[in-house]
Amino acid sequence: MNATRARSTRRRRNASVTIHDVAARAGVSVATVSRVLNGKQLVRQETAEHVLSIARTLRFVPNVAARSLSIRRSQTIGIVLPDVHGEFFSEVIRGVDVAARKAGYHILVSGSHSDPGEMLEVLEAMRGRVDGLVVMAPDIALPALVRSRATDLPLVLLNTADDAHDAITIDNYGGARTMIRHLAQLGHTRIAFIKGPDHNADARERLRGFRQAMRAIAGGEKLELDGDFTERSGYDAALQLANLDSKPTAIFAANDSMAIGALSALSDRGIPVPGEMSVVGFDDIPIAHYVAPPLTTIQVDIAELGRRAFALLCESLETLGGHASPHKATRKSRPTSECISTTLVIRKSCAAPHLQEKKRR
């Protein structure tokens, strides 16, 4: 019991040690102690080592909240996504989070649902709480809105081409062309494409790549159906295709979620994949490997997208003692623009049309 009381007393004593106590014991000013603890390079090495030794001896524990206020740093990064539901967004969050944790940052996540009003509310709610923002704004109307409300914060835009801020995009156009070339090499000429939302920049680029690649297929017949990147829209589009007298031999969905919905619809209609119809997607979300059959898709390193976004954000902040600090944001002469490459991943959801014909016989 006495030992317990002694430990409790020591904890109280340690908790009461202030930066002033450290300064007095070390024989330096409070400002010098603050510089040493914050990692600033304005103190001689021997002085810094002496101050740190005294702090350890006194078991000084910095007040994190007070420190954050003094240097105007929250050690928190804001992430704004169109939605927080779905594997694509989960992977983006994971990529940012892993990188942020290694750098001593936390993340604050919110969804805008691609709604301008909600986007404004989210940006206002994060103001003063975060050191910088990673914003995914593929809706073509949102980047200007983000710029107007986040000019005082370091900012990285995802899936958005932007001349005013650092931005990272995906090679949507090239990825879509690669997929169509793969289907054409298998012998497919009648290919259906399930589109994403019209207002979405990623969806537009994937549609552009599809159309461009189809022009190079001799005798190619393209079908385009509306979708909104959800499993349900892929399911409904595939049902429409299943009811056609002259069905396509392949379905290319603009993202994996719609492709998975299409697989479900064809299964419900008793149409085997790839026996009678091939299905392919885009993104390579984790579940794509485990659906039946495993989905052929265009792979995007989604977690890397998040990691690169955080790295790019840190480059826009002043480096302070090994940590990024937005106390003085570094203004680049020219924003950085990056494009994440894509890779074709071949699995078992597509086959050559002549193989499909043999199976039908």
Q: Confirm whether 67 is domain-assigned.
A: no
| Same domain as 271, residue 247 | yes
CA–CA gap between residue 29 and residue 294 (Å, rounded): 65
Q: Confirm whether 71 is domain-assigned.
A: no
Decide if 285 contacts 258 (C-beta within 8 A).
no
| Same domain as 206, residue 182 | yes
- 127: three-class secondary structure by DSSP: coil
Task: Identify whether 248 is preceded by a cis peptide bond (ω within 30 of 0).
Answer: no
Q: Output the domain CATH number for residue 6.
A: 1.10.260.40
CA–CA gap between residue 287 and residue 294 (Å, rounded): 9
| Same domain as 224, residue 349 | yes
| Same domain as 351, residue 215 | yes
Number of structural domains in the chain: 3
Decide if 179 contacts 206 (C-beta within 8 A).
no
| Same domain as 296, residue 349 | yes
Q: Confirm whether 160 is domain-assigned.
A: yes
Q: Confirm whether 68 is domain-assigned.
A: no
| Same domain as 166, residue 307 | yes
Q: Confirm whether 156 is domain-assigned.
A: yes
| Same domain as 135, residue 120 | yes
DSSP codes of every residue in 282-321: EE--GGGGTSSSPPEEEE--HHHHHHHHHHHHHHTSEEET
| Same domain as 12, residue 136 | no
pLDDT tens digits in sequence order for the chain, 361 residues long: 444 444 444 444 445 778 888 889 999 987 888 777 766 666 788 888 898 899 888 888 765 545 544 445 678 899 999 888 889 999 999 999 999 888 888 999 998 877 777 888 888 888 778 888 898 877 766 666 665 655 567 888 888 877 777 889 999 999 999 999 999 999 999 999 999 999 898 999 999 999 999 999 988 899 999 999 999 999 999 999 999 999 999 999 999 999 999 999 999 999 999 999 999 999 999 999 999 999 999 999 999 999 999 998 888 765 433 444 444 444 555 778 899 999 999 999 999 996 655 555 4
CA–CA gap between residue 17 and residue 222 (Å, rounded): 73
| Same domain as 191, residue 260 | yes
Q: Confirm whether 70 is domain-assigned.
A: no
| Same domain as 155, residue 99 | yes
Closest CA to 6 of 18, 14, 22: 14
| Same domain as 314, residue 197 | no
| Same domain as 233, residue 183 | yes
The whole-model pTM stands at: 0.74
Q: Confirm whether 309 is domain-assigned.
A: yes
Q: Output the domain CATH number for residue 114.
A: 3.40.50.2300
Structural domain including 13 reads 2-62
